[in-house]
């Protein structure tokens, strides 16, 4: 069989063209087109001056550096060294950078300087989806996922351990400053240079501040990280939140868009839902008809805040043995008309006094009625007095929400939550490499999570554009100003 001529010394027969290196429908072209559509005000909002200085060494163009980071996050490359390698080895990156190969220091300095303002990019990705009529306003789902922190698990220290380490570091710094040499006179497990020791001392101070906020332990590697349990593993982590809306498109029925986000250092999901709904409403310009969340968001305070905003939510109540027992608190029915509570056996519990605004109300049964009740052993075996029920100020809202949850409509809506939002987290962790944070500190992790969400949205927009137009994704309309 004949063989094609083969040599690694073959010269170009015609001058090469960068535009021939990637096909017209490649996602990297969408990234370039999208970034080219940024207004000068958008660049200034991110702290980027497009006009280069007249003196000094020639710099790389900011659109090239930003494009490298955005496209890198889209395909799961999130470190500056890996991006440097990609700019040398991968044709999409070489096309995007104009066949330039910025080193990892250049890429890192750009990322470090401008990442706090990447929320402008996230906002533009949402607005572009809105302008293209891709955001389905019928429903949105809220959930959180644990992102492993870039922190050593064995560096979670209590107050005594932090104080001991602080004393060791202070002694090592003093010894090093006294010697004015590179060798450290402190314990052998401490760093041997002044800059590293000083940075460690700063992290210890931050960790001690976390203890002052009420924590029992704080991490010295990343003081903002909190010990959280995910899938049976307890480790330093962050709680990343997202609001996800389905794509309103006949060409991408499985598409999802992140329309709001947040990062918190608490493992629970309380007190965050109203703010996320407000953020999603502001970014999309419309309120979703229904917001669904899991039982971790169930809170009387949050339900009251959503009711005050006139937002419809579907949040199942946590299942507990005590609350769901035959004589648990949920089995006692409150009558707003008479302001009394009826127990499962038909005994009326009357309110004690008039509680102050915002305080719990207590309802008690007559002692004689409870003593004669055959259910006393199951209802209140440990008291000689009658049963007492405590109702919080939000109890009426909880009762109304419980009635709404029992409806067929709410049940159907609640079943959609898992398919909407958990698939997004799965994609971010597997395709975009978001199982662990690469940065340290809450502000940096927030920027990292924001760029991950932006990259996810851009992938969805690429699929929607290719499905709608069949060729280049360029025709999607431009988003309005941030």
What pLDDT was estimated at residue 297? 93
Looking at the predicted structure, is the pLDDT value of residue 130 above 90? yes
For residue 431, which of 293, 284, 256 has the smallest C-alpha distance? 256
Q: Are 315 and 301 in contact (CB under 8 A)?
A: no
Tell which residue, 261, 263, 287, has the closest CA to residue 123.
Answer: 261
Q: Which residues pair with 246 in a beta bridge?
A: 256
| Mean pLDDT value across residues 376-390 | 84
Pairing of β 218-219 and β 156-157 = antiparallel
Question: At residue 477, does pLDDT exceed 60?
Answer: no
Mean pLDDT of the chain: 86
pLDDT surpasses 50 at 480: no
Question: Above 80 in pLDDT, residue 324?
Answer: no
| Res 1: pLDDT | 66
User: What is the residue whose two structure tokens read 């940075």?
Assistant: 199
Mean per-residue pLDDT for 323-350?
A: 88
pLDDT in tens, 204-215: 888 888 888 878
Torsion angles phi and psi, residue 222, rounded to 5:
-135, 95
Q: b or e along 230-267 (b: 16 or more beta carbons within 10 Å of the residue's beta carbon)? A: eeeeebbbbbbbbbbbbbbbeebeebbbbbbbbbbbeb
CA distance 364 to 353: 11
Q: Which CATH architecture has domain 133-148+234-317+407-447?
A: 2-Layer Sandwich (3.30)
C-alpha 476/C-alpha 386 separation (Å) is 68
Could you tell me if 95 and 89 are in contact, meaning their C-beta atoms sit under 8 angstroms apart?
no
More confident residue, 153 or 436: 436
In this model, does residue 481 exceed pLDDT 50? no
Could you report how far apart the first and last alpha carbons of the chain are, in Å? 62
pLDDT at 470: 53
Segment 319-330 mean pLDDT: 81
Greater pLDDT, 314 or 194:
314
Tell me the pLDDT band of 285, cut-offs 50, 70 and 90: very high
Judge whether residue 460 has pLDDT over 90.
Answer: yes
Contact yes or no for 452/11 (Cβ under 8 A)? no
Question: Which residue in the block uniquely carries the two structure tokens 């996810």?
Answer: 456
> What sign does the CA torsion over 322, 325, 326, 332 have?
positive
- Label the pairing between strands 313-314 and 290-292: parallel
pLDDT value at 479 more than 60: no
**Helix/strand/coil for 241:** strand
Give CA–CA dist 72/67, Å, rounded. 8
Q: Does residue 143 surpass a pLDDT of 70? A: yes
Interacting residues of 40 by C-beta distance below 8 A, sequence separation 6+: 50
Specify the higher pLDDT residue, 417 or 470.
417
Length reported for the chain = 482
Beta strands in 114-210 (DSSP E): 139-148, 156-157
> pLDDT grade, residue 21 (50/70/90)?
confident
Q: Can you tell me whether residue 14 is helix, strand or coil?
A: coil
Q: Which residue has the tokens 């605004």?
A: 357
Judged against a pLDDT cut of 70, whether residue 468 lies above it is answered with no
Tokens linked to 437: 């944070």
Strands 226-230 and 233-246: antiparallel
Q: Residue 47: which region, alpha, beta or left (left: phi > 0; alpha: psi -120 to 50)?
A: left
For the chain, residues classed under CATH 3.30.420 are 133-148+234-317+407-447
């Amino acid at each position: 069989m004949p063989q094609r001529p083969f040599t690694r010394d073959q010269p170009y027969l015609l001058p090469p063209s960068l535009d021939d290196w990637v096909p017209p429908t490649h996602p990297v072209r969408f990234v370039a087109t999208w970034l080219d559509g940024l207004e000068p005000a958008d660049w200034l909002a991110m702290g980027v001056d497009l006009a280069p200085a007249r003196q000094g060494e020639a710099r790389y163009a900011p659109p090239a550096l930003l494009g490298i980071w955005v496209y890198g996050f889209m395909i799961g490359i999130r470190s500056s060294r890996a991006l440097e390698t990609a700019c040398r080895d991968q044709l999409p990156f070489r096309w995007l950078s104009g066949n330039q190969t910025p080193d990892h220091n250049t890429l890192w300095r750009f990322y470090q300087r401008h990442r706090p303002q990447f929320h402008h990019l996230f906002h533009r990705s949402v607005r572009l989806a809105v302008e293209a009529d891709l955001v389905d306003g019928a429903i949105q789902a809220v959930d959180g996922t644990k992102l492993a922190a870039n922190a050593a698990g064995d560096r979670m220290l209590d107050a005594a351990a932090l104080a001991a380490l602080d004393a060791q570091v202070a002694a090592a710094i003093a010894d090093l400053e006294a010697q004015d040499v590179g060798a450290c006179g402190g314990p052998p497990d401490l760093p041997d240079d002044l800059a590293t020791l000083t940075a460690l001392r700063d992290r210890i101070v931050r960790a001690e501040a976390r203890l002052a906020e009420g924590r029992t332990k704080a991490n010295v590697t990343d003081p903002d990280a909190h010990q959280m349990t995910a899938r049976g593993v307890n480790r330093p982590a962050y709680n990343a939140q997202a609001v996800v809306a389905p794509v309103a498109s006949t060409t991408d029925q499985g598409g999802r868009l992140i329309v709001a986000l947040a990062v918190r250092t608490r493992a629970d999901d309380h007190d965050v839902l109203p703010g996320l709904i407000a953020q999603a409403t502001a970014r999309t310009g419309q309120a979703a008809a229904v917001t669904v969340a899991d039982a971790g968001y169930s809170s009387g305070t949050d339900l009251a805040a959503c009711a005050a905003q006139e937002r419809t939510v579907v949040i199942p109540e946590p299942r507990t043995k005590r609350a769901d027992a035959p004589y648990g608190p949920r089995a006692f029915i409150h009558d707003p008309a008479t302001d009394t509570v009826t127990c499962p056996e038909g005994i009326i519990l009357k309110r004690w006094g008039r509680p102050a605004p915002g305080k719990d109300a207590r309802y008690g049964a007559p002692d004689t009625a409870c003593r004669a009740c055959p259910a006393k052993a199951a209802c209140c075996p440990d008291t000689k007095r009658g049963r007492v029920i405590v109702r919080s100020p939000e109890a009426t809202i909880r009762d109304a929400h419980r009635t709404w949850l029992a409806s067929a409509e709410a049940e159907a809506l609640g079943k959609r939550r898992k398919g909407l939002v958990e698939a997004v987290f799965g994609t971010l962790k597997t395709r975009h490499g978001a199982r662990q944070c690469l940065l340290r500190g809450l502000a940096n992790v927030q920027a990292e999570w924001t760029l991950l969400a932006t990259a996810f949205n851009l992938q969805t927009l690429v699929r929607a554009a290719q499905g709608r137009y069949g060729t280049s994704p360029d025709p999607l309309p431009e988003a309005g100003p941030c």
